[in-house]
Amino acid sequence: MKRQIILGALFLIGGIGAQGQNVYDAANIINKDLSGTARFVGMGGAMGALGGDISTIGTNPAGIGLFRSNDINTSFSFSTLNTESKYNGSTFSTDKNRWDLNNIGAVFTTKIGDQGSLRYVNFGFNYQRSKSFYRNMNMAGDLGGMSQTFFMASASDGLNPSYWDNGNHYNNNDIGWLPALGYDGFLINPSETTSETKYPLKDANGNQIKDKDGNPLFLNYDFFNSIVGNSAQVRDFHSRERGGIDQYDFNVALNFNDRAYFGLTIGAYNVDYTKNSYYDEDFGNGEGYILQSWNNISGTGFDFKLGTILRPFEYSPLRIGLAIHTPVFYNLTLATSARMESDVYASADATNTTKHIIDTQNQLNGDMKRDFKLNTPWKYNLSLGYTFGSNLALGAEYEYQDYSTMKFKYADNGDAMDVETEGAKAATKGVNTFRIGAEYKVIPEFAFRLGYNYTSAIFKNDAIKDLPLNSIQTDTDFTNLQAMNTYTIGVGYRGSSFYADLAYKYSMQKSDFYPFWYLEGNKIEKPQNATKVSDSRSQVLLTLGFRF
């Protein structure tokens, strides 16, 4: 993994337009919430083989084929989100409350007849908020002398004075914004030595790594150094994430002999994700700096979902569901800006009593924008459903998605962005999701539901945020998510036409947070003690519907 990341940084430094995309933002977009109707959520989403709920339009499209009457519904929710971070004995906690419109959907059924094999042709549409990005996070403490300026220095590898004397640093494809901010804020300086120490890059077997033309690759990273040394004492980090993904699904489903169901869903997606981060370093001598970063990713995408539900035994209620989802083909735009306040220069020059402020929006007359394409991984779904009479329904579901197969592409020509794609292979892995759920009808009009979800970790244990050396992004922080557990409970009322469902969902996920990493020679370094983060979400959902 380390080899791939270092190679990626080297390849981007020469001649390719400055980039900002990274695997952590992409994984955040790919990873969806358990959302939908209160019935669907109350059963933990384990309805792929049971069908008969509008939310199965997004998991197993064949589930719409089980409808026998028209249906219109809408769902609302109230969520409480908590993020708790612990570092070196200090605990920080933030809360956020939010109302959401979770879904609006409709199914229209067409009965073909009872004589032929084809019994029903159904059409469905559903809007849902498939992902919420709302999250606040804080941490502070001493990182053992490590400084973000070390990353700035290592990202300046090979940049001789001619690079810095060539126009605007923030519109130069050879210079990343972090080293540019560090240079302009007097946080990194040229080394006093005139010779450059070169570190040969080697693979896991100790063999010299070469470029595509067969030339040996080296890191000559100590041309620049950090003025901080090991004196940095206190770091303070805050981040604020907002936005979400709106999903629009259009479906057609067929019912053959009430034993075989087939469905196709075309999905459309709208992404709007914003992250603001604040990072402060105090050098302990009256000097320091503050770095504020702003990123927004927006755009649209589409995918196709195919599914089937089979009842293999005529007199058995067992159902088997299979579904496959193509990648979501996203066209996205990254907009970014950064602002640094440094008082290193002020304290060094007695005639200067103000902080040195560098704002990229002033340098560029606005935000820097980069268009790119993202293809998410394929998704595979297997589900089982079983009913006992008309009182009890049980569902189980397994889903697999290999995050390491995500692909980044250039927006103008569709060519592969090899470095970012290789970075995804190095940092992420296959994700397994298990869902189970049950519904018990106490009386025909009243039902009680339970559900549970388990989703395995997305990132490998040694994953880091692979920012290219010429990246325009300046937020160096990254969070390695661990497994997520979700528990659900719900109740429902069914009248002759009107129905109402209520559900409660609680999810918990732990993660390791790092504010930055850097290269020491050809070795990746990051704070030894990760900030331990726990994210929890409590959500109450209400669905109101009408069948006719």
Over residues 254-292, the pLDDT tens digits come to: 999 999 999 999 999 999 999 999 999 888 777 889 999
Answer for the pair 131, 244: CB distance below 8 angstroms, yes or no.
yes
Give the pLDDT score at 12. Answer: 40
User: In 22-169, where do the E strands start and end?
Assistant: 71-87, 90-111, 118-132, 135-141
Residue 53 scores a pLDDT above 80: yes
Residue 15 has what pLDDT?
Answer: 38
Instruction: For 207, list phi and psi in degrees, rounded to 5.
Output: -85, 145
Give CA 105 to chain center in angstroms. 26
At 6, is the pLDDT very low, low, confident or very high (cuts 50, 70, 90)? Answer: very low
Average pLDDT over residues 417-429: 89
Residue type, 187: L
For residues 99 and 529, which has the higher predicted lDDT (pLDDT)? 99
Domains of the chain: 2-229+253-267+298-336+372-547 (2.40.160)
18 vs 91 pLDDT, higher one: 91
Which amino acid is present at 325?
Answer: H
Quote the pLDDT of residue 174.
Answer: 78
Determine the pLDDT at residue 484.
97
Length of the chain measured in residues: 548
CA-nearest of 207, 202, 170 to 185 is 170
Most confident range (mean pLDDT) of 66-75, 86-95, 408-417, 515-524 is 66-75
pLDDT exceeds 80 at position 528: no
Distance CA 400, CA 422 (A): 20
C-alpha to C-alpha distance for 335 and 534, rounded to whole angstroms = 29
Give the start-end residues of each E strand in 257-378: 260-282, 288-310, 319-325, 329-342, 356-359, 368-375
CA dist 488 and 35 (Å) reads: 11
Residue 1 pLDDT > 50: no
The per-residue pLDDT of the chain, averaged, comes to 87
pLDDT (tens digit per residue) in 469-512: 778 999 999 999 999 999 999 999 999 999 999 999 999 999 99
**Strand, coil or helix: what is 129?**
strand
Paired sense of beta strands 199-200 and 118-132, if any: unpaired
Percent of the chain surpassing pLDDT 90: 64
- Please give the single-letter amino acid code of residue 215: N
The H or E element spanning position 437 is strand 430-443
When pLDDT is averaged across residues 79-94 and rounded to a whole number, the result is 92
What is the model's pLDDT at position 216? 67
User: Is the predicted pLDDT of residue 32 greater than 80, yes or no?
Assistant: yes
Q: Which of 19-28, 148-157, 348-357, 448-457 has the highest mean pLDDT?
A: 448-457
pLDDT band at 115 (very low <50, low <70, confident <90, very high): confident
| Chain-centroid distance, C-alpha 86 | 22
Q: Tens digits of per-residue pLDDT, 163-203?
A: 676 677 888 877 889 988 988 888 887 654 444 445 455 55
Q: What's the pLDDT score for residue 50?
A: 97
Whole-angstrom Cα distance, residue 234 to residue 545? Answer: 54
Structure tokens at 170: 């923030």
**Per-residue confidence at 232, pLDDT binned at 50, 70, 90?**
low
All residues at 6 or more sequence positions from 292 whose CB lies less than 8 Å from its CB, including other chains? 276, 277, 278, 279, 338, 339, 340
The residues near 115 (Cβ < 8 Å, ≥ 6 apart) are: none
pLDDT for the residue 350: 52
pLDDT score for 13:
40
Q: Which residues pair with 503 in a beta bridge?
A: 490, 541
Mean pLDDT of 227-231: 54
- Look at residues 50, 56, 65, 61 and name the one whose alpha carbon lies nearest to residue 37: 56
Q: Report whether pLDDT(19) > 70.
A: no
What is the C-alpha R_g of the chain? 27
How many angstroms separate the CA atoms of 483 and 335, rounded? 30
Tell me which DSSP letter residue 501 carries: E
CA 383 to chain centre: 25
| Residue with more model confidence, 281 or 13 | 281
Name the band, by pLDDT with cuts 50, 70 and 90, for residue 344: confident
10 Å CB burial of residue 528 (0-12, 13-18, 19+) is: exposed
Question: What pTM value is reported for the model?
Answer: 0.88
Q: What is the pLDDT of residue 461?
A: 87
Better-scored residue on pLDDT, 283 or 366: 366
Q: Which of 109-123, 160-174, 212-226, 475-489 shows the lowest mean pLDDT across its residues?
A: 212-226
